Structure 1
Amino acid sequence: MFEIRKARNLKQTDVARALGISVRTWQRYESNEREPTMSLLVDLAKYLGVSVDYLVGLTDDPTPPRRSSSSPEGES
């Protein structure tokens, strides 16, 4: 998370404010003192325009998946 923030020239205060958390909480995430919740990762991915998979290191492709216009199977 640190690398992508730096690459986009964002300050810790910018990210913390966008996510509605304290700067100290964000610092704990960056230093791996604390694990972000899934909902925070989703909000961060939306803010940065990347996929959650990219944030957690499951892919090198930052492109978020495209949303399908059809509803998921089993939903009406």
Structure 2
Amino acid sequence: MEFKAERLIRLREQLGINKAEAARKLNMSAMGYGRYENGQREPSFQTVCYIASTFNTTSDYLYGLTDDPSPSTITISSSEDPEIFSFVNSMQKDKDLEKRLLAYFKKITQSENKQKKEKQ
């Protein structure tokens, strides 16, 4: 597998951040990050996974195995978002609660979609 530097650049640009900001988000030096974007150095698989997680994409996208940058999983950190973490944790523990909340979510999104269509 070969890392696709142009996809890293595309993701960074879509996030609206410069190289220095991307390096800070990834806890690496700007020079090291720049080498990944310039294709001078290929990141390890672990680093690619970390980049994918941080930039909300997949390692498959960064390796060119898929053209879909959408992640198939989401990691929720209790330290970064304690309310969402607690919410998801509660749903995992109580399947009845999960069913009720998902039904409510579906009603809300259906209502929002209907309103959007009516506005068009």
Displacement after TM superposition at 1:66 (Å): 3.6
Q: Please, which of 4, 7, 11 is the counterpart of residue 18 of structure 2?
A: 11
CA deviation map 1:34-58 (0-9, x unaligned): 0011111111111111111011111
Are residues 1:21 and 2:28 paired? yes
Q: TM-score, normalised by structure 1?
A: 0.79
Displacement after TM superposition at 1:13 (Å): 1.3
The structure 1 segments of at least 4 consecutive aligned residues displaced by more than 2 Å after TM superposition are none
Amino acid of the structure 1 residue aligned with 2:24: R
The 8 Å contact of residues 19 and 40 in structure 1, kept in 2 or not, is answered as no
Q: Please, which of 46, 66, 85 is the counterpart of residue 39 of structure 1?
A: 46
Name the structure with the higher helix share: 2
RMSD between superposed Cα atoms in Å: 1.7
Rg comparison, structure with higher value: 2
**Gapped runs of 5+ residues in structure 2?**
1-7, 75-91, 93-120
Q: Which residue of 1 aligns with 2:64?
A: 57
CA deviation map 1:1-37 (0-9, x unaligned): 1111112211111111121110001110000000011
Q: TM-score, normalised by structure 2?
A: 0.52
Q: RCO greater where, 1 or 2, for CA within 8 Å and sep 6 or more?
A: 2
**Identity value in percent:** 32
- 2:11 is paired with a residue of what secondary structure? helix
Amino acid of the structure 2 residue aligned with 1:43: Y
